[in-house]
Amino acid sequence: MRIAVLGTLAVDRVVRLEAPLQIGGHQQGVALDDRCGGGAANAAVALARAGHHVALVSAVGDDGTGRMLLETLAAAGVDTVEVAVLPETTSNSLLLVDPAGERTIVNLQRLHAPAPERLLRLALDCVYVRSRAPGLTPLLAELAQRTTVVAHVPPCADGAVPAQVLVGSASDLDPGFLSDPYAAGQRVSGGLADWTVVTRGADGATAHGHESTLHEPARPVTPIDTTGAGDCFAAGLVHGLANGLSMARCLALATAWGAAAVATDGSLPDDDFPPADGV
């Protein structure tokens, strides 16, 4: 399948903490090597591991860091032709990982690229959008007329995210949205959303549709690094949808992929990813 992933590509500057993060305290940690990250990159690599042709639509700076990211993604099988190289500094984040695998992300630099109208010239089976960039609404509306669009929320403004499937973490959504996710998804998508999927960490994930609500419990794993778990969950969802699976099967796949990411040390899925179950 031909899939485009739209969103952030960044370098993660990683520190593994020796104790849980404490506000106002002094922490001991070990700085690890910089690594490729960003929500779009995580999802793109997971989908490429599953055998899809994945075009990453993003941007990097014209610097050594940007070139390293492009080389890493190309080696992972991701098509980087649609990654714009701009005369700016590549996005980068400080990533703090505690002994339980929980991560805290501090965005240090964000590269803001113009709306990627070049997406409209691609023949695609599905598009995954992991971006809060302003000005994307008209582009998503046109894409949704051509193919299946899976988009992350927030943003949650009325009509801001025209997509057939919305996915977001309960920790990022306000109580009003969570009180009726299907109705909220209808509002945010301008009436296009068939499903609104909410992830709840150890409590699993729920897909809210017009006629049914589906729940999938979390897979039991030993956490190593939760970085990219939500992105890999979304990639599993896209993988199932692109292959025409029912939402129940898509949700099971997504949960398995998210769990595999939690049990992986790193921002990107490794060579053993995705898990064997599924299509």
pLDDT band, very low/low/confident/very high, at 276 (cuts 50, 70, 90): low
Compute the average pLDDT of residues 248-266: 92
Compute the average pLDDT of residues 228-250: 95
Asked whether residue 272 carries a pLDDT value surpassing 90, the answer given is no
- 48-62, 108-122, 245-259: range with lowest mean pLDDT: 108-122
Inter-CA distances, 226 with 42, 123, 165, 238, 257, Å:
12, 33, 23, 20, 12
Q: Which CATH superfamily is domain 2-262 in?
A: Ribokinase (3.40.1190.20)
What pLDDT does residue 240 have? Answer: 95
Asked whether residue 277 carries a pLDDT value surpassing 80, the answer given is no
Measured between alpha carbons, how far is 149 from 192 in angstroms, rounded to an integer? 10
Compute the average pLDDT of residues 177-202: 97
**pLDDT tens digit string along 140-149?**
999 999 999 9
What pLDDT does residue 278 have? Answer: 58
Asked whether residue 242 carries a pLDDT value surpassing 90, the answer given is yes
Residue 189's CB: how many other CB atoms inside 10 A?
Answer: 26
Pairing state between β 84-86 and 59-61: parallel
Specify the pTM. 0.92
